[in-house]
Amino acid sequence: EIVLTQSPGTLSLSPGERATLSCRASQSVRSYLAWYQQKPGQAPRLLIHDASTRATGIPARFSGSGSGTDFTLTISSLEPEDFAVYYCQQRSVWPPLFGGGTKVEIK
Amino acid sequence: EVQLVESGGGLVKPGGSLRLSCAASGFTFSDYSMNWVRQAPGKGLEWLSSISSRNLNIHYADSVKGRFTISRDNAKNSVYLQMSSLRAEDTAIYYCARDTGDYLSNGMDVWGQGTTVTVSS
């Protein structure tokens, strides 16, 4: 199975700052990587699929990049509603495991 | 409105069984693979199982293989998770989620609100 390692575990930033989240795969997943956002008490929401394609309705401040084993989710300028936990998931092979998550918290 | 609504969670004793249901509406259910994902208290997301649109392909996480069974009824727009031999570590919120397409598509784009399963004596 492919293990996804997300870093950092927690990112402390202020509104308006840029957030850069990393997801590293134990072997290549090509571009078959998705990112999700989860706020407390809510279900996850798909943000990015195929490493860099924003899902329907996702603001342009969210962008994804990478291929192979190294991926990045960037939030260009944090809005108050962006403070949440972010998960990556590989969609290349079974099982489609999630990474451990990165919490973006208000500094 | 595209919607998934889970039901069937509750308190069950270790070794017991429970059947979760997920009712879909607002889209052509039979066109999509469906998934179950869980989240233990204070923990991350754990993919559990997927079933393709026509029941031809089913996959399970190692943690539930042999204990959980996924199924679907396209006539009823529903997907199910039969859970048996439940353990304390199965305590979690269980989410039903739709794939963006069929059979390991590029993400899960519709999620239910979750149903809580507590395994305790």
Contact A75, A62 (CB under 8 A): yes
Q: What percent of chain B has pLDDT over 90?
A: 94
CB pair distance less than 8 Å for A46 and B109: yes
Identity of the residue in A36, A45, A91 whose CB atom sits nearest the CB atom of B106? A91
Residue B112, CA distances (Å) to A46, A84, A91, B21, B52 in order: 13, 18, 20, 11, 18
At A82, list the tokens. Answer: 């962006």
What's the rounded Cα separation, in Å, for the pair A23 and A29? 11
> Where do the DSSP E strands lie in chain A?
4-7, 10-13, 19-25, 33-38, 45-49, 53-54, 62-67, 70-75, 85-90, 102-106
Is residue B117 over pLDDT 90? yes
Contact B93, B114 (CB under 8 A): yes
- B31-86 pLDDT, tens per residue? 999 999 999 999 999 999 999 999 999 999 999 999 999 999 999 999 999 999 99
Contacts of B59 in chain A (CB under 8 A): 94-95
Return the residue matching tokens 């390991």.
Answer: B104
B positions 87-116 inside 8 Å of A (CB) = 95, 97, 100, 104-109, 111-114
Contacts of B65 in chain A (CB under 8 A): none
Q: What is the pLDDT of residue B29?
A: 98
CB pair distance less than 8 Å for B100 and A36: no
Give me chain A's average pLDDT, please. Answer: 97
Is residue B103 over pLDDT 90? no
Contact B49, B58 (CB under 8 A): yes
Q: How many residues does the structure list for chain B?
A: 121
Return the residue matching tokens 């509603």.
Answer: A81
Is residue A72 over pLDDT 90? yes
Is B2 part of the contact surface with chain A (CB cutoff 8 Å)?
Answer: no
Q: Which is more confidently placed, A32 or B105? A: A32
Is A64 part of the contact surface with chain B (CB cutoff 8 Å)?
Answer: no
